[in-house]
Structure 1
Amino acid sequence: MKLGVFMVLFGGKSFEEALDYIAAKGLDAVEIGTGGYPGTAHCKPEELLADAGKLKAFKQAVESRGLTISALSVHGNPLHPQKHIAKEFHDAIIQTIDLAQRLEVPVINTFSGCPGDHEDAKYPNWPVAPWPNDFQEILDWQWKNKVIPYWTETGKYASDRGIKIGLELHGGFSVHTPATLLRLREAVGDVIGANLDPSHMWWQGIDPVQAVHILGRAGAIHHFHAKDTTVDPINVNRYGVTDMQSYSNMLDRAWQFRSVGYGHDLKTWADIISALRLVGYDYVVSIEHEDGLMSVEEGFSKAVQNLQQVLIKEPLGEMWWV
Structure 2
Amino acid sequence: MKLGVFTVLCADKPFDDMLDYVSSKGLEAIELGTGGYPGNDHCPIEELLDKPSAQQEMKQKLSDKGIMISALSCHSNPLHPQEKMSVPADTLLRKTIKLASQLGVKVVNTFSGCPGDHEGALYPNWPVAAWPPDYQEVLKWQWNEKLIPYWKEINDYAAANGVKIGLELHGGFSVHTPATMLKLRKACGPAIGANLDPSHMWWQGIDPVEAIKILGDADALHHFHAKDTIIDQQNTNMYGLTDMTPYTELRSRAWYFRTVGYGHGRKTWADIVSALRLVGYDYVVSIEHEDGLMSIDEGFSKAVENLQPIMLREPVGEMWWA
Bin of the TM-score, shorter chain as denominator length: over 0.9
Q: Supply the AA of the counterpart residue of 2:149.
A: P
In structure 2, the partner of 1:239 is 239
**TM superposition shift of 1:51:** 2.6
**Alpha-carbon deviations, 1:230-254, whole Å to 9, x = none?**
0001110000001101111001100
**TM superposition shift of 1:62:** 1.4
Structure 2 CA distance for aligned equivalents of residues 218 and 194 of structure 1: 11
Structure 1 CA distance for aligned equivalents of residues 295 and 305 of structure 2: 15
Q: Supply the AA of the counterpart residue of 1:148.
A: I
Structure 2 CA distance for aligned equivalents of residues 113 and 9 of structure 1: 23
What is the DSSP-based 3-state SS (H/G/I as helix, E as strand, rest coil) of the residue aligned with 1:251?
Answer: helix
Structure 2 CA distance for aligned equivalents of residues 112 and 201 of structure 1: 16
Structure 2 CA distance for aligned equivalents of residues 314 and 242 of structure 1: 40
**TM superposition shift of 1:24:** 0.9
**TM superposition shift of 1:50:** 4.1
What is the DSSP-based 3-state SS (H/G/I as helix, E as strand, rest coil) of the residue aligned with 1:37?
Answer: coil
| 1:197 matched to 2:197 | yes
In structure 1, the partner of 2:320 is 320
For normalisation by structure 1, the TM-score amounts to 0.99
In structure 1, the partner of 2:62 is 62
In structure 2, the partner of 1:220 is 220
Q: Is the 8 A contact 2:198 2:208 kept in 1?
A: yes
**Alpha-carbon deviations, 1:177-216, whole Å to 9, x = none?**
0000000000011100000000000000000000001101
Structure 2 CA distance for aligned equivalents of residues 52 and 162 of structure 1: 18
Superposition CA RMSD, Å: 0.6
Q: What are the ranges of 5 or more consecutive residues in structure 2 without an aligned counterpart?
A: none
In structure 1, the partner of 2:115 is 115
| 1:183 matched to 2:183 | yes
Q: Runs of 4+ in structure 1 displaced over 6 angstroms?
A: none
Q: Write out aligned runs for 1:1-322 (5 A).
A: 1-322=1-322
**TM superposition shift of 1:84:** 1.9
Structure 1 CA distance for aligned equivalents of residues 147 and 237 of structure 2: 33
What is the DSSP-based 3-state SS (H/G/I as helix, E as strand, rest coil) of the residue aligned with 1:204?
Answer: coil
Q: Is the 8 A contact 2:228 2:261 kept in 1?
A: yes
Q: Supply the AA of the counterpart residue of 1:247.
A: Y
What is the DSSP-based 3-state SS (H/G/I as helix, E as strand, rest coil) of the residue aligned with 2:61?
Answer: helix
**TM superposition shift of 1:58:** 1.4
Structure 1 CA distance for aligned equivalents of residues 89 and 199 of structure 2: 24
What is the DSSP-based 3-state SS (H/G/I as helix, E as strand, rest coil) of the residue aligned with 2:252?
Answer: coil
**TM superposition shift of 1:52:** 2.1
Q: Supply the AA of the counterpart residue of 1:93.
A: L
Structure 2 CA distance for aligned equivalents of residues 97 and 62 of structure 1: 20
Structure 1 CA distance for aligned equivalents of residues 195 and 306 of structure 2: 21
Structure 1 CA distance for aligned equivalents of residues 317 and 52 of structure 2: 41
**TM superposition shift of 1:309:** 1.5
What is the DSSP-based 3-state SS (H/G/I as helix, E as strand, rest coil) of the residue aligned with 1:234?
Answer: helix
Q: Supply the AA of the counterpart residue of 1:306.
A: N
Q: Is the 8 A contact 2:80 2:115 kept in 1?
A: yes
Q: Is the 8 A contact 2:50 2:99 kept in 1?
A: no
For normalisation by structure 2, the TM-score amounts to 0.99
